[in-house]
Amino acid sequence: MNGRTFRPLLLILAAVLLVQACQKEPEPPRWDLNVTAPLVKTSLTINDLLPDSILSTDADGNVSIVFTSELFALSLDTILNAPDTSFQYAYAVPVPGPVPVQPGVTFNSTDNVTHFDLQDLSLSELIVRSGQVDIKVTSRMNGNILGNFSLPGATLNGVPFAAVQALPPGTPANPSVTQTSRALDGYVFDMTGPNHNAVNTLATHLSYSSDPNGPAFNVTNQDSLLSKVSYHDIIAEYATGSFGTRNIQVDSTSSGLGLFDNITGSLSLDQVTAQLQVHNGIGVDAQAHIHFIRSVNSTTGITVALIAPITAGPVNLDRALDLNGSFQSALNTFDLNAGNSNIKPFVENLPSQIEYAMDVTINPLGDISNGHDFFYNSSKLIADLAIDIPLRLSATGLTLQKTLAVDLPGSSDQHAVQNGTLHLFADNGFPFSAVLDLDIVDAQGNILSQLSSGQAIASGTLGTDGIVSSSIATRLDMIVSPEQIDLFHTGGRLHINAVFNTADQPQHVQLRSNYSLDLQLTTDANYIVNGDR
Amino acid sequence: MATGKCWWCCLLLLIIAVNAQGQEATSSATDTLWNGTEHRLTFEAEGGYDSNALYNDLVLGIYRGGYISRDVRQRSMDAISANGRGGYELGGRISYAWGDSLFGHADWQPRISASYRMAEGLNFTKDDYHLTFFGNSDLVNQTAHLGPSRHEQVRYSTIGFGIQNKGSGTWLELALVSGHTLNAVDVRTADLYTAPDGRYLELQLDGDYWASESSGPSLGSSNGLGAAVNFQWNKNICVLGRPAVFGLGVRDLGAVVWNSNSVRVSSDTTIHFEGLVVNDILDINNLSLDRTSLQDSLGLGFRTGTFLRVLPARFAASLKFGHALGRADLGQLYTYELTVEQHYLPGYVPYARLDRNFEVCSRLTAGVGVSYGGFGGIRVAAGLDAQVGLLRLSLQTTNAIGLVSEQAMGRSLMLGIEAAW
């Protein structure tokens, strides 16, 4: 036997290796399993159904919703909007000249005032939170000049504002231009002017002198100096004075409530109280004229207008207290209850939005503070509607709807879960039943397939005292076909429609913090190992 | 277990009988072994799997991928009596011995070797198989017994240094071992009860799990270090008045210390599972379902750290007797060869094989044999052995039927190349 004997073997080996090397990535093995297993379990109490932040529980475990919604807020920019302001100062010698100017000589000094146009506001003091002053000097004098711009009425830690600029020589034909910007953050403006008897007025000082280290020069009446001072982006930290009598219009607007989103049906509450709480952080008296407050259910289209004393006439609002560096808001409250308003039907409408319109008059009685109106940068006029709903209720067909994206592993072509049956085991300790409809819907909400229709979770058993004495177990089965699994993989979403009815209707039943609904979901499913790969 | 004891008793009797006769025959047969060549290069490669229950169509279906039909799965399940066994071994070893003497001893020479080996062994219950390939729906309101069962999958390589006797082919090596991957499970008890409608699963579990660091994508990355002893002892004896060779061999008798990133779980507990607890059933998409959190919730959290694990050592004894075949300088063949082996792997039972070799021509020998044990049952073996110049090539299978049939169990192929000069 020689080497030729093995040649066919080597050829076969080489061919096998070649075929193996050319094979594409091997697909994983797959086989189907019938799996029976628990999936998820949960226990729902009222704290799980509603956010803790709006729930209140008394000593007996009775639960109330205490919910506050901000109706509106007027902030500083509603009161004061300081416009950008510019002033110009020009100087020229009053004689034909030439007039010699020796080094180190002050040849012009001017005290002046700046008036700010603040409309109805008459400010005596303004503390700047942020802002800037730009100083631009155009020199047509043929010498080195020092320009000194100062604001005697604007101080920072007691030091007046001052800016000195070195102005290079210029000519009428070829003037020199010098510009500087300075921040005014934290400066206190005395707005009473140099004589402390004005408002919205800031004392200014401008002087020019020849450079003590420069040469002497001559000026004529053709030579000039032009200063332009611009205040811009002034935002106040604090202001005081007389704010005048002004009317601020709050156009019809709405505020989302969020409490009853996705809920429809009939809800009867035993009792509802509410309180309109107006926090006035501005140092002015005010009077609000509430034109309307409406409960708007955008699902049903039903609107209930609040009928109450606060909507029938003006509401007077006390002013905030100035604590010299901070302030204390004035809280003005107005109670709404079944005796003085229709607040119960207002809430039972399950509003998705609160609509309102109003106007607010500042200083309706004039300058009764004798020029001591004030505001701070954080001052606001805020109105909240606080609603207290004891959860003693009767619900009929109260419907909760929710659509969930179901993210099953795999793709429409390859997925592990093929079909099966879902078992929902409910142990209900709440005094209401729930009828469940589960559908697969498309992105527009159109029903593609029905998973479960009309299956009910029974209510807990009520005792003679109206309290749930024992929970009731219910089992719901939902068959999920391969076609329905495919729908989930092609964008189908799970739509849950739960209709709640309280037991012992039409009596109101009390919800308690210890009530719970225990749910467990199990499955009998056909599952393909590696089916999603 | 009784079968295993029987084989060991036979082996013991055989060794005693052979030694009794071999005392007088040794000197006359010594130079018929390897003929004292100064250079010997050996390459051995083997690959094979076997099982006493898993048919080839199932195993190949898993290997090839694609859908495995219920019929295929059911046929293997029907073959499981009480416990199933299975495993594979894949690897190669190259060794080289050279020189005319070692430290003044003319009969000895230095030897080096390198090897790479992947091995897996498992034994499993019928319920293990049912749960794996059919799920638990058929076992509702029943307890599935998933233990005792064991599984070990290990991959490692060695570099060995030692000495070899030129005349007899006896050698001894000490090897450094680099552990690449390890996955091992020892389940003493695992009783899984599935409540009706899947209301809960309850698992009484007593078992251990070991795994090497999962990182290290490259084939040779090392996750543990160890040492092993390899040796082969050959002895010329006389059986029924004719020269024979008795051999004892051990491969990979040692252990690996797996590094500090290795993980292990030791659990003796009862796990009651009623589903993953969610806070908001309407927000189930935010349900966190990762392996770590699930293990933690079930009390099966990993512990990281080093541990020592014994290698899947192989022990073998052989007796070659009858007429001598082929050339002596490339390892003498005989008309009969009896081999007994045991591998330290789950599911591996003592293995015995009897071969009958035929001289086809002066340079080609063919052999057939019958074996029992290992991962499988009774098997038919076949092989070819050729000697060409300085080379000896051998190609064998311990499962000739499995090599060609998907309706059989197991498949194996071994290749040996030896050069001596």
The pLDDT of residue A356 is above 70: yes
Which residues touch A41 (CB under 8 Å, ≥6 apart)?
A518, A519, A520, A521, B274, B275, B276, B277, B278
| Torsion, CA A359, CA A365, CA A371, CA A374, rounded to 10 | -30
Write the pLDDT tens digit of every residue in A446-480. Answer: 999 999 888 999 999 998 888 999 999 999 999 99
- A39/B194 touch (CB, cutoff 8 Å), yes or no: no
pLDDT digits (tens, 9 = 90+) for B135-174: 999 999 999 999 999 999 999 999 999 999 988 889 999 9
Q: Which site among A41, A263, A418 would you substitute to test the B interface, given the most B Cβ atoms closer than 10 Å to its Cβ?
A: A41
Nearest CA to B415 out of B388, B389, B396, B392 is that of B396
Q: How far away is chain A from the Cα of B286, in angstroms, using its nearest Cα? A: 10
Whether residue A42 and residue B280 make contact (CB cut-off 8 A), yes or no, is yes
| CB of B291 less than 8 A from some CB of A | no
Pairing of strands A516-528, A176-183: unpaired
Shortest alpha-carbon distance between residue B138 and chain A (Å):
8
Q: Does A83 touch chain B (CB under 8 A)?
A: no
A497: closest CA of chain B, how far (Å): 12
- pLDDT score of A329: 95
A52 touches chain B (CB under 8 A): no
> B281 to chain A nearest CA, in Å?
7
Q: Quick one: average pLDDT of B39-43?
A: 93
Phi/psi region, residue A186 (left: phi>0; alpha: psi -120 to 50; beta: rest), is left
Q: Which residues pair with B181 in a beta bridge?
A: B155
**Average pLDDT of span B292-300:** 63
Task: Identify which of B160, B178, B35 has the alpha carbon closest to the alpha carbon of residue B110.
Answer: B160
Are B135 and A34 in contact by the 8 Å Cβ rule? The answer is: yes
DSSP notation for A428-460: E-SSEEEEEEEEEE-TT--EEEEEEEEEEEPPP
Please check the confidence at residue A67 and state whether its pLDDT lies above 90. Answer: no
Q: Residue B411: pLDDT above 90?
A: yes
Interface check B278 vs A, CB under 8 A: yes
CA proximity to B259, closest of B226, B229, B292, B227:
B226
Lowest mean pLDDT among A207-216, A360-369, A405-414: A405-414
Best of B58, B64, B284 to substitute, by most chain A Cβ atoms within 10 angstroms, is B284
**Beta strands B276-277 and A32-45, pairing class:** parallel
Bridge partners of B18? none
Q: Closest Cα to residue B183, out of B155, B206, B215?
A: B155
Spatial distance between the Cα atoms of A498 and A515, rounded to a whole number of angstroms: 18
Which B positions 206-265 lie with beta carbon below 8 A of chain A?
A: none
What's residue B5's pLDDT? 42
pLDDT at B296 over 70: no
Alpha-carbon distance A494 to A476, whole Å? 17
Mean pLDDT, all residues of chain B: 86
Give me the residues of A, 389-448, that contact B with CB < 8 A: 402, 404-407, 423, 425
Would the CB atoms of B275 and A40 count as touching at under 8 Å?
yes
Look at B199 and A425 and tell me if their CB atoms are within 8 Å: yes
C-beta atoms of A520 and B274 within 8 A: yes
pLDDT at A415: 86
Give the SS3 label for residue A383.
strand
Q: Considering only CA atoms, which of B297, B306, B340, B304 is closest in space to residue B320?
A: B340
- How many whole angstroms separate alpha carbon A373 and alpha carbon A122? 10
Q: Do A520 and B199 touch (CB under 8 A)?
A: yes
On whether any CB of chain A is under 8 Å from the CB of B289, the answer is no
A29, A404, A423: residue with CB nearest B65: A29
Picking from A442-451, B113-122, B289-298, which range would have the lowest pLDDT averaged per residue? B289-298
Report the gap between the CA of B284 and the closest CA in chain A (Å): 9
Judged by CB atoms closer than 8 Å, whether chains meet at B199 and A3 is answered as no
Enumerate long-range contacts of A308-314, CB under 8 Å, 24 or more apart: A308/A334, A308/A336, A308/A340, A308/A341, A308/A342, A308/A343, A309/A334, A309/A340, A309/A341, A310/A276, A310/A334, A310/A336, A314/A287, A314/A288, A314/A289
Chain A positions in Cβ-Cβ contact with residue B277 (cut-off 8 Å): 40-42
Confirm if B149 and B185 have CB atoms less than 8 A apart. yes
Query: What is chain A's mean pLDDT, rounded?
Result: 88
Query: What phi and psi, each to the nearest 5 degrees, are found at residue B329?
Result: -75, -10
**Are the C-beta atoms of B282 and A496 separated by less than 8 Å?**
yes
User: What is the radius of gyration, based on Cα positions, of chain A?
Assistant: 39
pLDDT number for residue B329: 63
- How many A×B Cβ pairs under 8 Å? 113
Q: What pTM does this model have?
A: 0.70
> B275 touching A, CB under 8 A?
yes
What φ, ψ does residue A14 adopt, rounded to 5°?
Answer: -65, -40
At residue B302's C-alpha, the angle toward residues B300 and B303, to 5°, is 130
Would the CB atoms of B64 and A29 count as touching at under 8 Å? yes
A33/B134 Cβ within 8 A: yes
- A323–B contact, CB cutoff 8 A: no
B273 to chain A, closest Cα gap in Å: 7
- B68 touches A at CB < 8 Å: yes
* pLDDT tier, B35 (very low <50, low <70, confident <90, very high otherwise): low
Q: What b-and-e string marks burial along A446-456, b requiring 16 or more CB atoms within 10 Å of the CB?
A: eebbebbeebe
In angstroms, rounded to a whole number, what is the distance separating the alpha carbons of residues A415 and B268? 35
Residue numbers in A near B279 (CB within 8 A): 42, 48
B172-227 pLDDT, tens digit each:
999 999 999 999 999 999 999 999 999 999 999 999 999 998 765 566 689 999 99
CB half-sphere exposure, B138, CA atoms < 13 A? 10
Tokens at B387, concatenated: 């000697």
Q: Does B364 touch chain A (CB under 8 A)?
A: yes
Q: What is the mean pLDDT of residues A497-506?
A: 84
Q: Do B285 and A406 touch (CB under 8 A)?
A: yes
Question: Which of the residue ranges A46-50, A278-282, A494-498, B14-18 has the most confident prediction, judged by mean pLDDT?
Answer: A278-282
User: Is A402–B134 a contact, with Cβ atoms under 8 angstroms apart?
Assistant: no
- In angstroms, how far is the first alpha carbon of chain B from the final one? 46
User: Which residues is B154 bridged to in the sheet?
Assistant: B119, B182
The interface predicted TM-score (ipTM) is: 0.83
Contacts of B17 (CB under 8 A, 6+ apart): none
Predicted pLDDT at B139: 95
Least confident range from A61-75, A124-138, A421-435: namely: A61-75
Q: CA-CA distances (angstroms) from residue B228 to A72, A361, B400?
A: 82, 96, 32
Q: Which residues of B touch A524 (CB under 8 A)?
A: 137, 197-198
CB nearest A42 (choices: B61, B281, B393): B281
- Tell me if B386 and A1 make a contact (CB, 8 A cut-off): yes
Check if the beta carbon of residue A205 is closer than 8 Å to that of residue A85.
Answer: no
